[in-house]
Structure 1
């Protein structure tokens, strides 16, 4: 699926949703930039003053996604933020996040801050979120200095507002099921193809015609089973429920926001024990609570106290999800029955992990997470000294603990054999054991933060000045590690505007990390940005169709201290190694090995970033437009000079700051909104983001051919052989370059000789396809409102990515695996002209099952991430019952996907799949 097809799908969906999509209420994001306040690094600013590159999404918008994990609601909603899910298991389904692609081949992890302090956010609930903001360029992230190069995600929670208390309650329940499960052949087809594979290998067939007839008829389920392991282990759907209660209000002296949320996410395993005594489904139960209180202590002194926490209880089968899903995919349907006639678990000497037994017979594994975060802030106005001057301070404590309470056991499997007298013999493998209890601490961490600000905000006629100077300290301690991770520094921001037309901002961070040598721990990270609000100019004010138009640009330096490799890489490490026997009694004394050399000059990665952007609102704010173009050069990335120093030196080489990467791209967003007139309103908002990186240098080993170098390629660029068809006969094999991986026969995959040496080996591997992280991300959000009805839909798409099919998913009979329908297209002498799969073989085939473009697929897809239909009862009918709003709705998540992978979900090829859900809900506001 190329970019052209993605664009066609989006335009088609846009034209359809223009007439049928919905928007229930005017949101805060629809306010004009002249009055709208938006989060920035360590504070808030009027949107018109912002000169950095950032994007926002409201909590109200995220709530409609109904995703059980908050980060799974962010797909395509923030231009520049790439979200890719890797697992759908309840409680462990948080996706990977990247801002503007990957700028480093070592670590591209982003920072996440909740209300100004670093904290995980995946298990927050959308009902407690005011906005989520992505900070992208140097002007937006310079205050984070040594840690801001990969971008920052700011999560701002809701706070109370002046007015009488408002009580809001919502309840939602629904059912979820896999977006797509792999499909495999039945026992008859499997056995038929296996016989063919054996004949291709010059061996006799394994299954007789009587066996094949029994598989086809299904009249011998014990000795000729036909088991669909997915059907035996999984139910068709699983429940999901979410309940939320929040109260907010206050007066001029005090304001509050209080929330309680309960989420229950249940897994797909069937026949499990609801009491969780003998076994367990995959269950995730989460309680969220939050209390944000703001108090005006005196006319000049204000204070706030935020308390937030979570209780997370997870229970799972005693076997890991990887084992369960891996064996469901691996074990052939005819290997053994689920249960034997006596009720015991089926199995063989080769297949001892009966998937049903892995769910029901391995006991229960549970974890209990507890998280508590407390933040106190004080703000004091110094207007008596000079107008606009203020000081503030905040301390935050964040603690997380995980304990486990496991009751695990094992089970025996029995292979059925026919005795000479026709009797049934049970051949036992393994043992049935009693449960072993393991109760204790699994992990914990604590984070202590301190933040102090001096701010100045004042206008002098047409001139406006805003300044910030801060001190920040962060200490992060993990159990089992006596040396905490620590960051410390100062930062500042100075903003100037003239007549709300000309904007300039200087930002800097001077901070450091404990991970580097003393005297070399701190760095200076400046950024400068400017803006020009053209819509304030007289020559454009006469153009009534331009509501707001701003040009902005930035340049700056940020850093990344997550350089990869070991901790404290400047130190020399020694570890226990081989010893020696001394004396006549051969007394042994252990020795020490010198580890890789330390590098006392090691430092952080540096990113020089340039950004230029346009923000526009047209036709009385009905049309919005945003465009950002960026370029980044990352230097001082860790690499080892393995090519320049010989191995006989006898010691591991130190990591050095010699690598560099370029990353360039753009983001664009456009929208149209028509407010409700005569009870009809609609909106549509589309976005696209593109980022492509290129490795400039990574000190890799010298290669004999330039095309083998990773330098010059994209980060995580796949390499492999280039397939050019199948060998049609022995004559073609003899006339072709010699393939060295295994003896080849007609029907095996032919590979291109890249270097012309008439040999196919590892030196013929070239860049194939694209990295798994997409270069293009698209989003389309549209809706319509008519009277009390509203309908919204959100599509997300990605392209310029590849996925590699491998293992039991596609490789028939490899490691005693089953066979997928793709194997029906195998090569035979009769199908040589139309074959889509190599010849079958029952033995390991190192030639056919290598990384090559034959097994690579286009990983692009479009997914309907959310759709919601709701009805709000007129307030005139509900106020008598004391209700300000009563809304019923039905929504769906991941309802359908368009992709070219076909065999599995394009995001999660193997393991616990991506889930789709359909939910109904009720929201009441008093």
Structure 2
């Protein structure tokens, strides 16, 4: 194990320091599903559930009650740092399109990396489910946990379990939450005076005439001429300070010994930031997301042996946006200088120029409305029949699930003209028009549609024989996924099984397997076998530990197995030769054209899936009478048969595109740690502290890359996504410094330009001097810290998330002044001049893109690590004695906040969302009532 988990001493010390700065490392019973000490509970596993004490694989999860406190409009945005090993990185904050990226235990492939998500046992997206309908979300990590998914399990699996009814009188609970949201952080840019001053300086650096006169600069500084010397903050002109968000939820549960039910209704309204939009959505529209969720889970005991369940879940999603689209709006707000033109001219027309024809306010208010209407319906029926007459504990089951998604658009868009104000020779104001005002063009149709049909047949056996316990599962599964516009559905088919044996509740052995295949591989080579072995030893049941009072529960577990990944990337059916139209020829005296066919890249009839060999060792413990919980997992993975093209081994004069072959390999190693403490209740007061830390580092072992002249250029041996670039060693001081330095060939250099290191000693700086710089954007370390306390009816809950070993590259209008006619950011104030040469933090200014200064280099790279207070909630639950008078079972009021603050190294933008629609900070108040 020392060889497997060898980590640089400095990295380990840094990580340890970070952990103790966060006060504790791990995650307690308040987060996980379930706690190590709660041995009686069953937890979700592949195609079923198991008692916690029998689990020998690597699992981690979070309860639905915790997700409700995240107050996130999109469910996956409540998972930051909640499950060790699950890395969640925030995307943009646009309503309805704010789902984050996710990975389990980092990356083990440089091709397909998407994880599987299952809702109640069947593959389905889950981002737009409501937290109130969720029982738990569980991550399956090692081979023992994912082997039954076989050809599809190598990237990990998320199991989403929805709530089910419980026997008893009907319980009705209602929750309403409303609040507002604001951008967590917007980019900052210089005003017109500073912009014009720096622009003149950039022109002087290029030996050009200054553009702005002293009178122009004075007008910008005084703000006395808003039309010919405007100073526009486009973010202020386009965006409101805040936007409302509200959610309403109604749950109904109950039943008896023969039937139970759970019914949920949820409504979410999330509004965007665009100001002055038409509330009727006839001329313009804010960004609006309106979602309705419905769920009904019914379980019926038909006879003594026959049970059935019927789950129905539906969702309606209505989105509306400005006709221009978020990408165009936000890129122009970031790009257009503050002095380019006024928002509106004196006649109320939109300002603009020949260079800047997209007035950001006009993009919001003058381009019409785009809307989408999405509908989703999932129906699942299960039958279970006890075969006690054959063997006690034997059951047969069958299930079928239909999942449909439809999304149509109904757009009413138009174009608008912009006008540039000019002075003619007589001094009169004239308007120069660019573009035209057009009438509304309607466009409606289907822009996304798919359906998924699943069937499952199971045979289970669960029985105890004195000190022996046997659990077995045999399953057949078929999945057909059809996408609109694709004539051939995606299909998976196979069998899977699991056999678990326990002796004296302390020795556990398990064998699981998946034998399944995909239509995407050659006939006769579509199925594979994926086995896994795991074992557990509950030491706390041994006599020598039963006398140790402070050890409540202690289990060692280990697993080893093989899983696969059929998301190999590239074209579909890569084993078939593709031909496309092209390569025609002109014949005869009249040059008659006859079309031809081009041969595409060569097919690979031997193509197969990726294979991942996984080993895992884990410890679960509960100490001090279950007050302390502890979990540690160490893992080692090696992925092989990753697709790559052998361009480095076969010369280009062969004259044909090379096939993708299963030759690549990647290793991935790391650990996950959880620790939590729950205090006793004294005088109505209790508290808990819990935390988690996870580390995963991958290494590309082989990827068939082209032969490089220098070893440091190789991507092999580096991490997936490792950035490469030049190493900056300062700025050129003067012409003598330039003449004495290696020649930089990207552009003619002058004093104040960035000087780069000559890596190969050839006295030329070119692409062969690019080396690995910084770290990949996906963090290697993820942390979570959960704190909470209760005093009588009051409760306070706070959750911090942090990441480390992550780099981000700054580029474009965010930092590159004047590039592509862009504005300038405050970072440019530190530019190099002969007077500031000793203290400069930015290269000399130019009005055009400087190919030497603005390129991939560690000069523009920043530490992307951060710690964020993701969620905090303060609530009060009224005493039951008081509520009984008004016939309520529960009444709770609360206030919460999301994305409260961020401690990071980027002060002018969010380290997760550098550009585009920003990540949002929200503040909410809510009430929960149970009848």
Q: TM-score by structure 2 length?
A: 0.98
> Structure 1 residue 348 and structure 2 residue 353: aligned?
yes
Q: Deviations over 1:793-850 (max 9, x none)?
A: 0000000000000000000000000000000000000000000000001122100001
Residue 638 of structure 1 contacts residue 659 of structure 1 at CA under 8 Å; is this kept in 2?
yes
Helix, strand or coil for the counterpart of 2:679?
strand
Q: Which of 173, 181, 184 is the aligned partner of 2:178?
A: 173
Instruction: Give the CA deviation at 1:586.
Output: 2.3
Q: 2:512 matched to which residue of 1? A: 507
Q: Which of 610, 614, 628 is the aligned partner of 1:609?
A: 614
Q: 2:459 matched to which residue of 1? A: 454
> Structure 1 residue 329 and structure 2 residue 334: aligned?
yes
Q: 1:182 matched to which residue of 2? A: 187
For residues 201 and 898 of structure 2, the distance between their equivalents in structure 1, rounded to whole angstroms, comes to: 43
Q: 2:85 matched to which residue of 1? A: 80
For residues 500 and 91 of structure 2, the distance between their equivalents in structure 1, rounded to whole angstroms, comes to: 41
Q: Which of 672, 685, 690 is the aligned partner of 2:690?
A: 685
Helix, strand or coil for the counterpart of 2:446?
strand
**Structure 1 residues 637 and 45: alpha-carbon distance in aligned structure 2, compared to 1, 3 A threshold:** same
Residue 35 of structure 2 contacts residue 629 of structure 2 at CA under 8 Å; is this kept in 1?
no
Instruction: Give the CA deviation at 1:26.
Output: 11
Q: 1:815 matched to which residue of 2? A: 820
Q: 1:910 matched to which residue of 2? A: 915
Q: 1:116 matched to which residue of 2? A: 121
**Structure 1 residues 441 and 27: alpha-carbon distance in aligned structure 2, compared to 1, 3 A threshold:** closer
Residue 177 of structure 2 contacts residue 247 of structure 2 at CA under 8 Å; is this kept in 1?
yes
Q: Deviations over 1:505-525 (max 9, x none)?
A: 000000000000000000000
Q: 1:259 matched to which residue of 2? A: 264
> Structure 1 residue 649 and structure 2 residue 674: aligned?
no
Q: 1:548 matched to which residue of 2? A: 553
> Structure 1 residue 48 and structure 2 residue 53: aligned?
yes
Q: Deviations over 1:732-770 (max 9, x none)?
A: 000000000000000000000000000000000000000
- 1:455-604 alignment to 2 at 5 Å? 455-604=460-609
Q: 2:446 matched to which residue of 1? A: 441
Q: 1:718 matched to which residue of 2? A: 723
**Structure 1 residues 527 and 6: alpha-carbon distance in aligned structure 2, compared to 1, 3 A threshold:** closer
Q: Which runs of 5+ in 2 are unaligned?
A: 1-9
Instruction: Give the CA deviation at 1:911.
Output: 0.4
Instruction: Give the CA deviation at 1:676.
Output: 2.6
For residues 13 and 447 of structure 1, the distance between their equivalents in structure 2, rounded to whole angstroms, comes to: 44
**Structure 1 residues 898 and 86: alpha-carbon distance in aligned structure 2, compared to 1, 3 A threshold:** same
Residue 31 of structure 2 contacts residue 63 of structure 2 at CA under 8 Å; is this kept in 1?
no
Residue 175 of structure 2 contacts residue 928 of structure 2 at CA under 8 Å; is this kept in 1?
yes
Instruction: Give the CA deviation at 1:28.
Output: 7.5
Residue 378 of structure 1 contacts residue 392 of structure 1 at CA under 8 Å; is this kept in 2?
yes
Q: Which of 840, 847, 851 is the aligned partner of 1:846?
A: 851
For residues 425 and 258 of structure 1, the distance between their equivalents in structure 2, rounded to whole angstroms, comes to: 65
Residue 175 of structure 2 contacts residue 250 of structure 2 at CA under 8 Å; is this kept in 1?
yes
- 1:770-809 alignment to 2 at 5 Å? 770-809=775-814
For residues 148 and 32 of structure 2, the distance between their equivalents in structure 1, rounded to whole angstroms, comes to: 29
Q: 1:281 matched to which residue of 2? A: 286
> Structure 1 residue 61 and structure 2 residue 83: aligned?
no
Q: Which of 398, 403, 410 is the aligned partner of 2:408?
A: 403
**How many aligned positions are there?**
922
> Structure 1 residue 632 and structure 2 residue 634: aligned?
no
Residue 395 of structure 1 contacts residue 448 of structure 1 at CA under 8 Å; is this kept in 2?
yes
Helix, strand or coil for the counterpart of 2:513?
strand
Q: 1:699 matched to which residue of 2? A: 704
Instruction: Give the CA deviation at 1:12.
Output: 5.0
Q: 1:159 matched to which residue of 2? A: 164
Helix, strand or coil for the counterpart of 1:71?
helix
For residues 797 and 285 of structure 2, the distance between their equivalents in structure 1, rounded to whole angstroms, comes to: 37
Instruction: Give the CA deviation at 1:597.
Output: 0.2
Q: 1:317 matched to which residue of 2? A: 322
Instruction: Give the CA deviation at 1:3.
Output: 8.0
**Structure 1 residues 9 and 878: alpha-carbon distance in aligned structure 2, compared to 1, 3 A threshold:** farther
Q: Deviations over 1:488-543 (max 9, x none)?
A: 00011000000001000000000000000000000000000000000000000000
Q: Which moved more, 1:674-683 or 1:515-524?
A: 674-683
Residue 2 of structure 1 contacts residue 799 of structure 1 at CA under 8 Å; is this kept in 2?
no
Q: 1:671 matched to which residue of 2? A: 676
Residue 792 of structure 1 contacts residue 867 of structure 1 at CA under 8 Å; is this kept in 2?
yes
For residues 119 and 435 of structure 1, the distance between their equivalents in structure 2, rounded to whole angstroms, comes to: 37
For residues 675 and 28 of structure 2, the distance between their equivalents in structure 1, rounded to whole angstroms, comes to: 17
Instruction: Give the CA deviation at 1:2.
Output: 8.6
Residue 14 of structure 1 contacts residue 782 of structure 1 at CA under 8 Å; is this kept in 2?
no
Q: Which of 382, 385, 393 is the aligned partner of 2:387?
A: 382
Give me the CA root mean square deviation.
1.6
Q: 2:4 matched to which residue of 1? A: none
Residue 33 of structure 1 contacts residue 46 of structure 1 at CA under 8 Å; is this kept in 2?
no
For residues 518 and 651 of structure 2, the distance between their equivalents in structure 1, rounded to whole angstroms, comes to: 33
Q: 1:105 matched to which residue of 2? A: 110
Q: 2:6 matched to which residue of 1? A: none
For residues 319 and 310 of structure 1, the distance between their equivalents in structure 2, rounded to whole angstroms, comes to: 27
Q: 1:767 matched to which residue of 2? A: 772
Q: Which runs of 5+ in 1 are unaligned?
A: none
Residue 22 of structure 1 contacts residue 790 of structure 1 at CA under 8 Å; is this kept in 2?
no
Residue 696 of structure 1 contacts residue 712 of structure 1 at CA under 8 Å; is this kept in 2?
yes
Residue 876 of structure 2 contacts residue 892 of structure 2 at CA under 8 Å; is this kept in 1?
yes
Q: 1:95 matched to which residue of 2? A: 100
Residue 752 of structure 1 contacts residue 764 of structure 1 at CA under 8 Å; is this kept in 2?
yes
For residues 35 and 3 of structure 1, the distance between their equivalents in structure 2, rounded to whole angstroms, comes to: 36
Instruction: Give the CA deviation at 1:573.
Output: 0.1
Q: Deviations over 1:268-312 (max 9, x none)?
A: 110001111100001000000000000000010000000001000
**Structure 1 residues 897 and 6: alpha-carbon distance in aligned structure 2, compared to 1, 3 A threshold:** farther
Residue 22 of structure 1 contacts residue 785 of structure 1 at CA under 8 Å; is this kept in 2?
no
Q: Deviations over 1:329-368 (max 9, x none)?
A: 0000000000000000000000000000000000000000
Instruction: Give the CA deviation at 1:11.
Output: 4.1
**Structure 1 residues 53 and 671: alpha-carbon distance in aligned structure 2, compared to 1, 3 A threshold:** same
> Structure 1 residue 300 and structure 2 residue 305: aligned?
yes
Residue 32 of structure 2 contacts residue 61 of structure 2 at CA under 8 Å; is this kept in 1?
no
For residues 374 and 671 of structure 1, the distance between their equivalents in structure 2, rounded to whole angstroms, comes to: 39
For residues 675 and 393 of structure 1, the distance between their equivalents in structure 2, rounded to whole angstroms, comes to: 45
**Structure 1 residues 793 and 391: alpha-carbon distance in aligned structure 2, compared to 1, 3 A threshold:** same
Instruction: Give the CA deviation at 1:594.
Output: 0.1
Instruction: Give the CA deviation at 1:5.
Output: 7.2
Helix, strand or coil for the counterpart of 2:858?
coil
Helix, strand or coil for the counterpart of 1:549?
strand
For residues 395 and 258 of structure 1, the distance between their equivalents in structure 2, rounded to whole angstroms, comes to: 20
- 1:423-442 alignment to 2 at 5 Å? 423-442=428-447
Helix, strand or coil for the counterpart of 2:584?
strand
Q: Which of 394, 397, 402 is the aligned partner of 1:392?
A: 397
